[in-house]
Each structure stands twice: as C-alpha cells, then as structure tokens.
Amino acid sequence: MDSSSRIIIHRHYHHSARRDAAKTYKIMLDGRVVAEIGERGDVEVPTAPGLHRVRIRLNWSGSPVVKCQTEPGADVHLEVRPAGTYPFPRTYWRMITRTRWLELGVLPWRGYINGVLYAVQFDRELSDPVVERIARLVEEDRGLPGGAPAHIHAIHQALSQSDPLDVLVGTRFGEDEIRSFLTRLAVQLERGST
C-alpha cells in the first residue's frame, strides 16, 4: 500500500472572473512556499500523511490558512479562487489585509455536478454522443468551467455519495441513469486528460 499522500490544488477559473488572471499564486505548505499555480492550473503537492497547513499567497495578501488531514495513499483536493468582488470599500479592505484576497477550501463537488446536469436537462437520453459533447464542453472550458481534473474529482466524490445527485436541476433522468452517465463522463475525461 502506498504510504505517501498528495494535496491537489485546483485554481478556479470562470471567464467572468478575470481578476488575477495573469498572476501566479504561491502555494505554502506548513509555512514554506512549495509550488506555484497559474491561471486554470492544477498542482499536485506530495506530502507525508498527517495534519498540514495550506495557504495561497499573492504578493502581500492571499488566503486564510486551511488545515487538512492527509491519509496514507489518499488525496485531498482544494480549490482556490478570488474572494468575492464587492463595492470599492470592501474590495479595498480585501486588498490591504493579509488573508482575505483569496478563498481556499475543499473542492465542492455538487456545483460541478449541477453544472453538468444543467447542460443535459433538455437531452432526450444520456447517450454516448451526449457524454462526448459534455466532455468537449469541459475540456474546452465552454460553459462548464473548472477543467477536466476538477470535474473528474467532483464526479468521483458524487458517485461515492448515497444521497440523490439531482436535487436542484430536476432532469427527467433517474438516479441510476445519472450515475451511469457520470461514470462514462469521468472515463471520457480521464482519456482526454492523459
């Protein structure tokens, strides 16, 4: 059994959020800079199992520290994004603080799954051509932002849940159809991202 672990950091991208687009974020693990992440990037940081403190830094500011526990042979997925854009007084406040310019947290799988389900809600069936179309949208970052690695992780997280997956969009498809579709989509994305 593999005794190492990884912290994988996904940099959230959305075409409407252009702040920091040309900037590279520094990844700090346990107080040391260990890597950098650019726009639309994903970075894998090998770690020893245990409790770690992760922070993303940009110039003098960045994100608050996130504590995460890594287990032997397992990955922890985190996502970094610009903190909300507000009217000038709040944006100015975020600029002058050391930990409020960026948000860092556990990768939220439900948002990615809702995006995929929204994209197929008017399809008659979840056929292989639909799988290929959605995979293309993810890979080309057209309407389904985040990139293939984040979607693959979100699909695996979703499939490990026992709760219903379609609680918001309300597609015409049953739970088994959705799970089968997501499984095929993950395989297609894994093929395309290798």
In single-letter form, the type of residue at position 39 comes to E
**Number of structural domains found in the chain:** 2
Q: Quick one: average pLDDT of 64-77? A: 84
**CATH classification at residue 20:** 2.60.40.1120
Do residues 99 and 114 share a domain? no
Do residues 32 and 62 share a domain? yes
Do residues 119 and 71 share a domain? no
Q: Quick one: average pLDDT of 163-181? A: 89
How distant is the alpha carbon of residue 94 from its chain centre? 23
Average pLDDT, the chain: 83
The residue with tokens 């900037």 is: 23
Other C-beta atoms lying within 10 Å of the C-beta of residue 129: 10
Do residues 99 and 120 share a domain? no
Give me the helix-helix angle, 128-139 and 148-159, nearest 10°: 130
Do residues 13 and 87 share a domain? yes
Do residues 138 and 188 share a domain? yes
Q: What does the pLDDT read at residue 1?
A: 45
Query: Domain boundary at 106, 130, 155, which?
Result: 106
The residue with tokens 């015409």 is: 172
Q: Is the pLDDT of residue 13 over 50?
A: yes
CB of 53 within 8 A of CB of 67?
A: yes
Q: What does the pLDDT read at residue 129?
A: 97
Per-residue pLDDT of 131-162, as tens digits, reads: 999 999 999 878 887 788 889 989 998 998 88
In single-letter form, the type of residue at position 122 comes to F
- Of 21, 193, 9, 25, the C-alpha closest to 105 is 9
Q: Is the pLDDT of residue 91 over 70?
A: no
Do residues 86 and 154 share a domain? no
Residue 158 structural domain: 109-192
Q: Is the pLDDT of residue 3 over 70?
A: no
Q: Report CA dihedral (59, 65, 66, 71) to the nearest 10 degrees.
A: 90
Per-residue pLDDT of 20-47, as tens digits, reads: 777 889 999 999 999 999 887 889 999 9
Q: Quick one: average pLDDT of 56-62? A: 84
In single-letter form, the type of residue at position 104 comes to L
